[in-house]
């Protein structure tokens, strides 16, 4: 964080400053800011976030022991540390992020990119951050820091030397993206897709589309919207962007895209395609598994182009990326048994894309094995969406369908009903029993996909399989 005095921070937060030790109102603080006491370093600011299960106020002592010099709290705590008392600690975190980014931006050197979409946010964020890192100091979220805590914590990492801030915006309800993106007003607003991920929480896909469009509404009026023109709901956001005076760059595989891909070839070593932009054609070999990641690469190339990075340069940097993120199409295992651990998250769209990738990269003399868990947050559509994935797995001729957990049993029943009744599809109540089955069942030449929503935790089963065949 940039250096601010304790008095300045208290004023920004509208809080009561209570000094401790030798601190004065003019004492400067410029350490990391976080709600996790385990991430404190000398000079840090600890935000005591209350919670239903754990209350951050109980960890102020641990934060101070690790080096925190300031605690932002909702009530005074009995610790020898300077405190700023505020009515809402999470709201204070957002207020501080807004102020810090505004001060850095006022210096004229900071450009901000916001990314949202039902799928692909983290991969696109990582692609874009890799492209921009060679241009200047680039701050981007760790993992999927895209909520009311993670997004401001990321924003607070900027300094006066930061040239690019890449923010990822998730949402659990209509209005979430508006609040988070409104903290920084991105210069570039990237909308990837509108799908069924979290649709249950929004009340349907049209409400999901409205929530994603909040990023376009929150961007700078003189900014640029980078839109997936292959998705009709995203393409329709052009009207909103242009009504605000924004420029629009479309990406996709269709003929209307400004940055487009064609001639896709998928293999176990990645995806090759031709990128066309500004009348020029370039070859891209993306090492990240899955044809669906080409769309994320296009989004990153388009956003980088808005920021002045040539397409050929962006492509060269993308080709150095080996995995999008841990547990996202992460290759594991060995040449005999290859594991693809893609169980950080799952939606109907990403589940279908991962299954298609498994089928595409498996040779005729190899066997496809899909280890599947539940997709969460689908609301009243959960049953039919699990049915659809079970049917798709059979129709793709996935040779072993291993379904884990009671929440995913309907997927298993659908696979059975579609024809996988002769031991091709099996169901296990938990990861341990699934692991024992797989340890005995997997053989040379197997290509194994592990996929589920994050809450199901199959990524840990994927790790165990990866270690078994390492």
Output the DSSP codes for 292-305. Answer: THHHHHHHHHHHHH
Within the chain, which residue ranges are assigned CATH 3.90.190.20? 330-468
Within the chain, which residue ranges are assigned CATH 3.40.1190.10? 92-318
Per-block average pLDDT, block size 10, for the chain (470 residues)? 97 98 97 96 97 90 97 95 97 98 96 94 95 97 85 96 96 88 98 74 78 97 96 97 98 96 91 95 93 94 98 97 80 92 89 94 94 90 94 95 96 88 88 96 96 92 94
d(CA 77, CA 373): 43
Please report, in angstroms and rounded to a whole number, the separation of the first and last CA atoms in the chain.
41
Place of tokens 């994320």: 296
- At residue 62, the pLDDT reads 96
d(CA 337, CA 146): 34
CATH superfamily, with its number, for domain 330-468 = Mur ligase, C-terminal domain (3.90.190.20)
Cβ atoms of 20 and 80 closer than 8 Å = yes
For residue 385, give every residue at least 6 positions away whose Cβ sits within 8 Å of its Cβ, in sequence order, or none: 196, 348, 375, 378
The CATH class of 92-318 is alpha beta
- At residue 282, the pLDDT reads 97
**How many CB atoms neighbour CB 135 within 10 A?**
16
- Chain centroid, CA 192 distance in Å: 12
For residue 103, give every residue at least 6 positions away whose Cβ sits within 8 Å of its Cβ, in sequence order, or none: 2
d(CA 52, CA 386): 31
Residue 286 β-bridge partners: 271
CATH classification number, 4-86, choose in 3.40.1390.10, 3.40.50.720, 2.40.100.10, 3.30.460.80: 3.40.1390.10
For the record, the structure tokens of 340 come out as: 């693809």
Q: What is the pTM of this model?
A: 0.86
């Amino acid at each position: 964080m940039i250096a601010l005095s304790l008095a300045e921070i208290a004023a920004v937060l509208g809080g009561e400053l209570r000094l401790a030790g030798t601190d004065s109102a003019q004492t400067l603080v410029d350490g990391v800011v976080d709600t996790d006491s385990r991430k404190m370093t000398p000079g840090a600011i600890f935000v005591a976030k209350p919670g239903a299960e754990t209350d951050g106020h109980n960890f102020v002592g641990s934060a101070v022991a690790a080096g925190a010099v300031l605690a932002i709290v909702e009530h005074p705590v009995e610790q020898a540390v300077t405190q700023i008392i505020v009515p809402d600690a999470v709201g204070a975190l957002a207020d501080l992020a807004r102020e810090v980014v505004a001060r850095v931006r006022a210096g004229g050197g900071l450009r901000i990119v916001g990314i949202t979409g039902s799928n692909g946010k983290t991969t696109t964020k990582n692609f874009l951050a890799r492209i921009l890192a060679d241009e200047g100091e680039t701050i981007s979220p760790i993992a999927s820091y895209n909520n009311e805590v993670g997004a401001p914590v990321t924003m607070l990492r900027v300094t006066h030397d930061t040239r690019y801030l890449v923010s990822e915006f998730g949402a659990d309800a209509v209005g979430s993206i508006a609040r988070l993106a409104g903290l920084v007003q991105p210069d570039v607003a990237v909308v990837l897709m509108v799908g069924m991920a979290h649709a249950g929480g929004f009340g349907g896909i049209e409400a999901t589309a409205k929530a994603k469009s909040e990023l376009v509404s929150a961007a700078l009026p003189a900014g640029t919207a980078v839109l997936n023109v292959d998705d009709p709901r995203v393409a329709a956001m052009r009207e909103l962007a242009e009504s605000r005076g924004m420029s629009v760059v479309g990406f996709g595989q269709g003929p209307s895209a400004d940055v487009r891909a064609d001639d896709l070839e998928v293999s176990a070593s990645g995806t090759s395609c031709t990128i066309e932009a500004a009348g020029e054609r370039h070859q891209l070999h993306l090492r990240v598994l899955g044809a669906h990641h080409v769309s994320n690469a296009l989004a990153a190339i388009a956003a980088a182009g808005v920021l002045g990075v040539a397409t050929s340069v962006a492509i060269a940097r993308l080709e150095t990326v080996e995995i999008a993120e841990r547990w996202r199409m992460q290759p594991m295992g060995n040449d005999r048994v290859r594991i693809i651990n893609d169980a950080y998250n799952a939606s109907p769209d990403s589940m279908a894309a991962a299954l298609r990738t498994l089928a595409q990269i498996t040779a005729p003399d190899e066997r496809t094995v899909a280890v599947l868990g539940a997709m969460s947050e689908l609301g009243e559509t959960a049953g039919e969406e699990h049915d659809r994935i079970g049917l798709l797995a059979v129709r793709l001729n996935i040779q072993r369908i291993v379904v884990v957990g009671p929440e995913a049993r309907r997927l298993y029943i659908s696979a059975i009903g579609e024809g996988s009744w002769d031991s091709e599809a099996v169901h296990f109540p938990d990861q341990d029993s699934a692991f024992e089955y797989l340890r005995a069942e997997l053989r040379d030449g197997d290509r194994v996909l592990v996929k589920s929503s994050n809450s199901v935790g199959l990524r840990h089963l994927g790790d165990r399989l990866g270690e078994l065949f390492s």
